[in-house]
Amino acid sequence: MYTANENRYNHMQYKRCGRSGIKLPTVSLGLWHNFGGGSLYDPARQMVLGAFDLGITHFDLANNYGPPPGSAEENFGRILKNDLRPYRDEMIISTKSGYLMWPGPYGEWGSRKQMLTSLDQSLKRMGLEYVDIFYHHRPDPDTPMEESMGALATAVQSGKALYVGLSNYNAEQTEQAVRLLREMGLKLLIHQPRYNMLDRRPEEGLYAVLEREGIGAIPFSPLEQGILTDRYLKGVPADSRAAGASVFLQPEKLTEELLGRVRRLNDLAVQRGQTLAQMALSWLHRSPVTASVIIGASKLSQIEDAVQAQNNLTFSEEELRLIDEITIG
Ligand code: NDP
C-alpha cells in the first residue's frame, strides 16, 4: 500500500490559475503517451505516484488517451483505487472530450450528446464521481458554440465537474466562449494551448485574451514532445517517442537544422545552470498567464528533472532575445 511522501509540499511552488481560487503546481503531468494499455500499468503507476510525491497535484487526461483509447483513464482509475484514494481531495484531475472516441456521429466534436456521454464514460473508467476540470478538447466548426458551452455548464451544474476549460480554441473563439459561459453564469478557469519555444502561436492574441479575462493557461507539449530536451542531441534513442510507434513525432522531423538550434538552446541552458528541459519550462513561466505546464514523460527521472525548472524562473533581457533569435529569428 502506497503512503505519500510527507514532505511532498515542501518544495513545489504553486501558482494561481487566472483570477480563481485554484493554484497549480509549476509542473503538471499529462497521460497522453506512455500511460495506456495493460502492459504499461506498472511504469505508469511508478510515474504517477512519484510525481505526487514531488508535489505534482495536477494530472491531465482525456477520453481518448491510450492506446487503446480510454486505457490511460482506466490505468489512472486503477492507481486511484489502489493507491491514491485517500488523497483524492489533494488532486486536480482533468479530462476532455472532442476528439474521436467511438464510431458514429456522436463519438467526437462538440455536441451536447457527445460531450456529456463522454464525460460519463470517463468518470466510469476512472472510478470518480467528478473531475476537477472538464475540457472541450477542440472547437467544433459545425456545432453552435452555445451548445458546446451549454454542455460544459451542465457538467458543472450536475456536479460532474468543478471547473471547465477549453483547449485548442484560438483567441477569437476563446473570447466568444468566455462570453457565452458568462451568460450561463460560468467562469472559464483555464485554457490548454499548444505552446513552447518552437511553437509561438499563443503569442498572436490568445495570451492577451486570457490575461484580460483572468483565465490561466496551461501549455501542452511544452517540450515539443521531447525535442526541447537533451533527448535527441546524440541521435535517436531506441526508447524515445521519435523511435516508437507514435505517429505524432516521426524521426524525419529531427533535421540537422532543427538539431542545430536545439544545441544552441542547450548551450544557453547549461550557462543558466539548467537542463534544456528545465529552461524550456521556465521560459513558459515568464508570463504570469502561465499557471502550470503539462509535461509528458516515459520515466520518473524525467519528471524529477522537470520539477527543478522552478529553481530558476527568471530570464535576463539578453537571454530572452537570444532564445527568440535561435527559435524564431
Ligand atoms: P512534452 O512536450 O513534455 O513531451 C514529453 C516527452 O518529452 C516525454 O515523453 C519524453 O520523451 C520527453 N521528456 C520529458 N521530460 C524530459 C526530460 N526531463 N528530459 C528529457 N526528455 C524529457 O509533452 P507531450 O507532448 O507528451 O504532452 C504533454 C501532455 O499535454 C499530454 O500528456 C497531454 O496531457 C497534454 N496534451 C494535450 C493536447 C490537447 O490537444 N489538449 C495535445 C497533446 C498533449 P520520451 O518519451 O522520448 O522519453
Model confidence over 4-41: pLDDT tens digits?
Answer: 999 999 999 999 999 999 999 999 999 999 999 977 89
The candidate with the shortest Cα–Cα distance to 326, out of 197, 135, 177, is 197
> Does the Cβ of 292 fall within 6 Å of ligand 1?
no
Is the residue at 268 inside a domain? no
**80 Cα–ligand 1 center, Å:** 22
Residue 108 lies in a domain: yes
Q: What is the pLDDT of residues 158-179, one digit of tens each?
A: 999 999 999 999 999 999 999 9
Residue located nearest, by CA, to atom 41 of ligand 1: 167
CA of 159 to the centre of ligand 1 (A): 30
Report residue 225: phi and psi, to 5°.
60, 20
Do the domain assignments include residue 319?
Answer: no
Structural domain count of the chain: 1
Question: What is the DSSP secondary-structure string of 235-295?
Answer: S--TTSTTTSS-SSS-GGG--HHHHHHHHHHHHHHHHTTS-HHHHHHHHHTTSTTB--EEE
Q: Which atom of ligand 1 is nearest to the CA of 135?
A: 41
**Is the pTM for the entire model greater than 0.85?**
yes
> Is there a domain that residue 203 lies in?
yes
The answer to whether residue 256 sits within a structural domain is no
Q: State yes or no: pLDDT of 203 exceeds 80.
A: yes
Q: Which domain holds residue 300?
A: 14-226+278-313
| 329 in a structural domain | no
Percent above pLDDT 70 for the chain: 100
Query: Is residue 59 within 6 Å of ligand 1 at its C-beta?
Result: no
The pLDDT of 196-220, averaged and rounded, is 98
What tens digit of pLDDT does each residue of 257-314 get? 999 999 999 999 999 999 999 999 999 999 999 999 999 999 999 999 999 999 999 9
Whether residue 44 has its Cβ less than 6 Å from ligand 1: no
Q: Is the pLDDT of residue 79 over 90?
A: yes
- Give the domain CATH number at 144: 3.20.20.100
Reported as a pLDDT band with limits 50, 70 and 90, residue 229 is: very high
Answer whether 278 contacts ligand 1 (Cβ < 6 A). no
Determine which residue's CA is closest to atom 35 belonging to ligand 1: 220
Strands (E) across the chain are located at 14-16, 23-25, 27-30, 58-60, 92-97, 131-136, 161-167, 188-192, 216-217, 293-295
Residue 31, C-alpha cell as written in the block: 497521460
